[in-house]
Amino acid sequence: MQQVAINGYGTIGKRVADAVRQQPDMEVLGVAKTRPNFEAETAIDKGFPLYAAVEEREELFAEAGLEIAGPVEDLVAEADVVVDATPSGIGAQNKALYEEYDTPALYQGGEDADLVDVSFNARSNFEDAVDADHVRVVSCNTTGLSRVIAPLREEYGVEKVRATLVRRGGDPGQSDRGPINDILPNPVTIPSHHGPDVETIFPDLDIDTLGMKVPATLMHMHSLNVTLEEDVDAAEVRDLFADESRLFLIPERMNIDGSGTLKEYALDAGRPRGDLWENCLWAESISTEGRDFYCFQGIHQESDVVPENVDAIRAVTGAADAEESIATTDEALGIGL
């Protein structure tokens, strides 16, 4: 059983901890928090040993009535691998800690690509991360784009990708984020950072991305146009995507018309926190004109990277190949609505 440390128990970290616990070959050794809050209390309620990420704040946990198992250094020292789910930029500061204890580390997409040995997407470049010491699980949007691009490249070849990303202003719990009543080009320059980030997975890919932020919290929305290297029929692409476990093709019969309905469906289906680990593609939006492919897809920014982190754990520890790991993760989580 791989002993997994989770450093950072917020939006991503708590979801990764729950997912790791469900795997047949992993255990959560412990989780680390910088301060006591409802998530720290929930971690203890769930039976996760809680560690203090900042030594100077250890007494805050005692004052809040929360028992800690020790400092984060103890957690990292005992772990087979650590998942750093701290805010952007903090992972880079933590790298020296992981190197001190010779513990392989996974970072999230907010860290710079040059911090790590390889940027990771399970469907696209699993083998590149095998036995690596520092791996970056790419962002929610890059994950979503990579899952679509990989099968298209393999089946038809890709000449050019054009993606417009309509991004949520903040997560539901981020009361300090926005906009509240606006639509912002973000950035106003082209390309957005997403295109270069996808190129960390596919270095030879020609991709342009445009981004904007809107007053929404539930999900991102992508409008995709991919020019392929051969003519293709839309029905063929639907069949291709239907075989991809992390692409959910939303049937027209479900009458799911947007992010709100998608989240309602996920909750009704019993998904924890209403999470949608898959890309959510509207099947009727999948269209082709000659060599050009089009679709709309929803990306749940809080959860689509969760199975990727689980697969990255197996990659860096050499515990499984891509096919075996993805299948194990998907079965354990119940991926495939």
Instruction: Identify the CATH number of the domain in which residue 96 sits.
Output: 3.40.50.720
- Supply the pLDDT for residue 297: 98
Q: Is residue 337 over pLDDT 60?
A: no
Do residue 289 and residue 311 come from a single domain? no
Work out how many domains the chain is built from and give that number. 2
Q: Which residues are annotated as a binding site for NAD(+)?
A: 11-12, 110, 168, 301
- Supply the pLDDT for residue 94: 98
Coil, strand or helix: which one is 298?
strand
Do residue 132 and residue 276 come from a single domain? no
Do residue 236 and residue 290 come from a single domain? yes
Do residue 180 and residue 253 come from a single domain? yes
Q: Which residues are annotated as a binding site?
A: 11-12, 110, 139-141, 168, 194-195, 301
Residues 104 and 117 sit within 8 Å (Cβ to Cβ): no
Q: Which residues are annotated as a binding site for D-glyceraldehyde 3-phosphate?
A: 139-141, 194-195
Q: What digits encode the pLDDT tens for the residues 16-41?
A: 999 999 999 999 999 999 999 999 99
Do residue 24 and residue 172 come from a single domain? no
- Percent of the chain with pLDDT strictly greater than 90: 96
Distances (CA, A) of 272 to 45, 207, 230, 280, 293: 16, 34, 41, 17, 33
Do residue 73 and residue 155 come from a single domain? no
Do residue 160 and residue 244 come from a single domain? yes
- Supply the pLDDT for residue 213: 97
Q: Strands (DSSP E) along the chain, which ranges?
A: 2-7, 26-33, 50-52, 70-71, 81-84, 105-107, 118-120, 134-137, 158-168, 184-185, 207-214, 220-228, 247-250, 279-282, 287-289, 292-299
The Cα–Cα gap between 191 and 176 comes to 26
The Cα–Cα gap between 14 and 279 comes to 20
Do residue 150 and residue 285 come from a single domain? yes
- Supply the pLDDT for residue 114: 97
Split at pLDDT 50, 70, 90, the class of 79 is very high
Instruction: Identify the CATH number of the domain in which residue 191 sits.
Output: 3.30.360.10
Domain span holding position 36: 2-137+305-333
In residues, how long is the chain? 337
Q: Is residue 73 over pLDDT 60?
A: yes
Q: Is residue 327 over pLDDT 90?
A: yes
- Supply the pLDDT for residue 84: 98
- Arithmetic mean of pLDDT, 98-110: 98
pTM of the model: 0.97
Q: Is 140 a catalytic residue?
A: yes
Single out the catalytic residue among 97, 140, 145, 333.
140
**In this structure, what are the phi and psi dihedrals at residue 201, rounded to the nearest 5 degrees?**
-95, -40
The Cα–Cα gap between 142 and 299 comes to 10
Do residue 151 and residue 291 come from a single domain? yes
- Arithmetic mean of pLDDT, 126-151: 98
Do residue 40 and residue 153 come from a single domain? no
Average pLDDT, the chain: 97
- Arithmetic mean of pLDDT, 286-305: 98
Interhelix angle for 234-242 vs 140-155, to 10°?
120
